């Protein structure tokens, strides 16, 4: 696949799994067979806590079989998330994901995201001071 096709695949993954208007079942088309169910479940768990989530890609870089996405998510904490009951707090956090593409599907993904900031925003971790 070309670099542009790989970027398009990652953009579609963000649109379908990490936006409240997306289709979680798209994971079957986007991910390698051994990754699809876990990816779908991870997105479903997040969307349970933040059912209005909107994720946008800020930067997208591709080279060879790798794509790097710098993204931003915004949502409202309206459901249970990691055992934390809904607070109604608005959240915004960023992350960087690296994807490895194989045969037109996401074969591996590594993500670093601001979970600490997210937990502070929903009140699970107190703000400093």
Contact assessment for residue 86 and residue 78, using Cβ atoms and an 8 Å cutoff: yes
User: pLDDT grade, residue 13 (50/70/90)?
Assistant: very high
**Domain map (residue ranges) of the chain:** 3-121
Tens digits of residue pLDDT in 40-90 = 999 999 999 999 999 999 999 999 999 999 999 999 999 999 999 999 999
Closest by alpha carbon to 66, among 7, 127, 16, 117? 7
Distance CA 22, CA 15 (A): 6
**Phi (first) and psi of residue 23, to 5 degrees:** -110, 110
Q: What pLDDT does 126 receive? A: 87
SS3 assignment for 53-108: CEEEEEEEEEECCEEEEEEEEEEECCCCECCECCCCCEEEEEEEEEEEEECCEEEE
pTM of the model: 0.93
Q: Return the ∠ at Cα 85 (arms to 83 and 87), rounded to 5°.
A: 140
pLDDT in tens, 87-115: 999 999 999 999 999 999 999 999 999 99
pLDDT (0 to 100) of residue 97? 98
One CATH from 3.40.50.300, 3.10.450.50, 3.40.50.1000, 3.40.50.720 for 3-121: 3.10.450.50
Which tens digit of pLDDT belongs to each residue from 25-46? 999 999 999 999 999 999 999 9
């Amino acid at each position: 696949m070309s670099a542009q096709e790989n970027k398009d695949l990652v953009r579609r993954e963000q649109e379908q799994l990490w936006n409240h208007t997306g289709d979680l079942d798209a994971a079957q088309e986007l991910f390698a067979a051994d990754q699809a169910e876990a990816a779908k479940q991870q997105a479903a768990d997040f969307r349970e806590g933040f059912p209005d989530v909107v994720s946008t890609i800020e930067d997208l870089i591709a080279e060879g079989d790798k794509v790097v996405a710098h993204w931003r998510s915004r949502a409202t904490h309206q459901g249970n998330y990691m055992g934390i009951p809904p607070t109604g707090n608005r959240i915004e956090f960023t992350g960087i994901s690296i994807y490895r593409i194989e045969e037109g599907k996401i074969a591996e993904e590594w993500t670093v995201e601001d979970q600490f900031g997210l937990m502070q925003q929903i009140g699970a971790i107190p703000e400093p001071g």
